[in-house]
Amino acid sequence: MSTGSGADSAPAPNTPDPIERTEQTEQPRTSMFSSLKIRNYRLFATGQVVSNTGTWMQRIAQDWLVLTLTGSSTAVGITTALQFLPMLLFGLYGGVIADRCNKRTLLLGTQAAMGVTGLALAALTLSGQVQVWHVYATAFVLGLVTVVDNPARQSFVHEMVGPDQLRNAVSLNSANFQSARLVGPAVAGVLITAVGSGYAFLLNGLSFIAPLTALLLMRNSELLKVERTPRGKGQLREGLRYVAGRPELIWPIVLVGFIGTFGFNFPIWLSAFADDVYHADAGTYGLLNTLMAIGSLIGALLAARRGTSRMRLLVAAAVLFGVLEIVTAFAPTFWLFAALLVPVGMCGLTVNVTANSSIQMTTDPAMRGRVMALFMMVFTGGTPLGAPIVGWVTDTYGARVGFASGGAVAALAAVGVGVMLARVGGLRVKIDLRRGHRHVTFVQRKQPLATAA
């Protein structure tokens, strides 16, 4: 079964390709929480909000611990890079594993392993033995587990809710993650200030009890049956060829690759702004993350109500995301900087959700694990390449220049991808300045008249 019109065959030569075909899959606006009516997904979402809260606590505590141990934004960037390096190196193999295996069983193993990494870092920190290389090692191990966990978790959503509720469930997953982001950084900031980072790591390790319990309570009979891909040679190359031949897949993946590599290095930038620009403590760092999470949550809930995943929305949100990062970087006061993080979060989340749902909806189920692995590989796996560079720019030229440079790359990439999508789809930009008309629209290029032989 295919979930999109472009999954099984190439488009006809004169068919508007990635932009227009996405418009044709538009569905009526749904209830914001409609996918929560499904029992298995409701269990999944409940478990994830608990573990996501713990994950955000660990992220804040980890970044602040590294900054405390080293005093270097570059070291924070190295930690982030090590956590996402396995996704860059092995991400596609994780997708092959996800397509071959039972996703629920895989998730039981990966979620348990993530809990163990949190408990190990807690033991090192609370015993007073922690060193920066311990944090590096733990981040790398967590990244190895994520190689399998990410594609399995992303594609498992389809098995829980089916194609009709997929867009809504993907949006609610993001809302779930951002809701936890509201609580996690705030709690982490209080814990770090009061008793140190170790207890944040401990609570994160224990939080994985919730998703493990949820997975065990699910009813197999209510999961959508998806035929697993049998073991065979060339499955990795097959997945790459599948994506390369479909503009509606390859160009959104290219876009999120640039944005994930250069535009989403917030642990580096926000820790640098809190420490170097505003000379504040971990509580302020947590506050900045919380404000961005508020914007992201708003963006996720708006996406949950949306009945479509338009390519033009993806490109527009990406351009605005980059521009807002540049403007925010040079905000003259702390409170203006903090307030601008809300729309930055909204646009960033809109880019992520729109790309994620549009790619899943146009991918054949047998390929979904590999395609989502590629999506996650370029979105998060690019961080090992971008984070050290962004960290060096931030250390050398200051937090403001570092933040603005990431936004500039994101905006330029969005414009470039938008041009390519328009060309592939046979579209051109039409500008109409009359009152009551849409000022900027995409219209079909006129085909040249055929000449007689």
| Predicted confidence (pLDDT) per residue in 215-272, tens digit | 999 998 888 877 666 666 667 777 778 888 788 788 888 898 899 889 888 888 888 8
Our CA angle for 163, 239, 156, nearest 5°, is 35
The tens digit of pLDDT for each residue in 39-96 reads: 999 999 999 999 999 988 888 888 888 888 888 877 887 887 788 788 878 878 888 8
The tens digit of pLDDT for each residue in 400-414 reads: 999 999 999 999 999
| DSSP structure class, residue 442 | E
The tens digit of pLDDT for each residue in 295-313 reads: 888 887 887 776 565 778 8
d(CA 301, CA 173): 10
- Per the prediction, the chain carries an average pLDDT of 80
Looking at residues 357-376, what average pLDDT do you find? 79
Predicted local confidence at residue 80, as pLDDT = 78
The answer, yes or no, to whether residue 283 has pLDDT greater than 80, is no
Stronger pLDDT, 86 or 167, i.e. the higher one = 86
Predicted local confidence at residue 196, as pLDDT = 82
Q: Which of 73-82, 148-157, 435-444 has the highest mean pLDDT?
A: 148-157
Predicted local confidence at residue 319, as pLDDT = 94
The answer, yes or no, to whether residue 184 has pLDDT greater than 60, is yes
The answer, yes or no, to whether residue 379 has pLDDT greater than 90, is no
The answer, yes or no, to whether residue 3 has pLDDT greater than 50, is no
The tens digit of pLDDT for each residue in 84-128 reads: 788 878 878 888 888 888 889 999 999 999 999 999 999 999 998
Please, which pLDDT band fits residue 442 given cuts at 50, 70 and 90? low
Please tell me the least confidently modeled range out of 99-113, 144-158, 383-397, 418-432.
Answer: 418-432
Task: Find out whether 374 and 253 touch, Cβ atoms under 8 Å.
Answer: yes
The answer, yes or no, to whether residue 321 has pLDDT greater than 90, is yes
Predicted local confidence at residue 432, as pLDDT = 56
CA distances from 156 to 140, 145, 282 (A): 24, 16, 36
The answer, yes or no, to whether residue 23 has pLDDT greater than 80, is no
Give the up-direction half-sphere exposure of residue 24: CA atoms within 13 A in the CB hemisphere.
13
Please, which pLDDT band fits residue 172 given cuts at 50, 70 and 90? confident
Predicted local confidence at residue 438, as pLDDT = 59
Give the up-direction half-sphere exposure of residue 150: CA atoms within 13 A in the CB hemisphere.
29
Predicted local confidence at residue 17, as pLDDT = 43
Element (H, E) at 431: strand 427-431
The tens digit of pLDDT for each residue in 192-227 reads: 888 888 899 999 999 999 999 999 999 988 888 776
Please tell me the least confidently modeled range out of 9-18, 41-50, 182-191, 329-338.
Answer: 9-18
Residue 55: closest CA among 152, 124, 129, 142: 142
The answer, yes or no, to whether residue 360 has pLDDT greater than 80, is no
d(CA 377, CA 155): 14
Predicted local confidence at residue 30, as pLDDT = 58
Predicted local confidence at residue 290, as pLDDT = 81
Please tell me the least confidently modeled range out of 50-54, 158-162, 280-284.
Answer: 280-284
| Residues in a beta bridge with 440 | 431
Please, which pLDDT band fits residue 355 given cuts at 50, 70 and 90? confident
d(CA 433, CA 214): 54
Number of Cβ atoms within 10 Å of the Cβ of 335: 8
Predicted local confidence at residue 276, as pLDDT = 86
- b/e string for 354-368 if b means 16 or more Cβ within 10 A? bbbbbbbbbbebbbb
Predicted local confidence at residue 188, as pLDDT = 83
Stronger pLDDT, 344 or 311, i.e. the higher one = 344
| DSSP structure class, residue 1 | -
Please, which pLDDT band fits residue 173 given cuts at 50, 70 and 90? confident
User: Which residues make Cβ contacts (< 8 Å) with residue 330, sequence separation at least 6?
Assistant: 400, 404
CA distances from 37 to 32, 161, 169, 206 (A): 11, 10, 11, 28
